[in-house]
Amino acid sequence: MYTPPVPVVSYLVNAVIYTLVIAMLIRALASWVHLDERYAFIRFLARLTDPFIVPMRRIIGQVWILDLSYFVAWFLLLTLQILLLQSLPSGW
């Protein structure tokens, strides 16, 4: 009896991208309520998400009081997820 392979790579890509998106969402909400890096959890999230947010900040900057770098990073991460999942062979 044939059992199809478990798409481990697809699960891994989804888990990593969704974890980064959730971390960015929590960090964005924390910045809106003025929680800074004095807290260890926020510092951990900053180290996790800064490689994606800081380059966007350099390019876009802050528009009025909104930091659009989070939204651009979310869009690019979700686009990367779609491209990675489409490039995988079926069953991966």
Could you tell me the two tokens for 63?
């528009």
- Confidence at residue 47, expressed as pLDDT on a 0 to 100 scale: 92
Please write the tens of the pLDDT for every residue from 44-54.
999 999 998 88
- 3-class state of residue 63 by DSSP: strand
| 2 in any annotated domain | no
| 77 in any annotated domain | yes
| 1 in any annotated domain | no
- CA gap 79, 43 in Å, rounded: 26
| 66 in any annotated domain | yes
Give the domain extent around 72: 8-87
Given a contact cutoff of 8 angstroms between Cβ atoms, the answer to whether 23 and 15 are in contact is no
Please write the tens of the pLDDT for every residue from 13-66.
999 999 999 999 998 888 888 887 788 888 999 999 999 888 888 888 777 777
> Taking the model in full, what pTM does it have?
0.81
| 3 in any annotated domain | no
B/e letters for 78-91, b = 16+ CB within 10 Å, e = fewer, are eeebeeeeeeeeee
- Confidence at residue 21, expressed as pLDDT on a 0 to 100 scale: 93
| 71 in any annotated domain | yes
| 47 in any annotated domain | yes
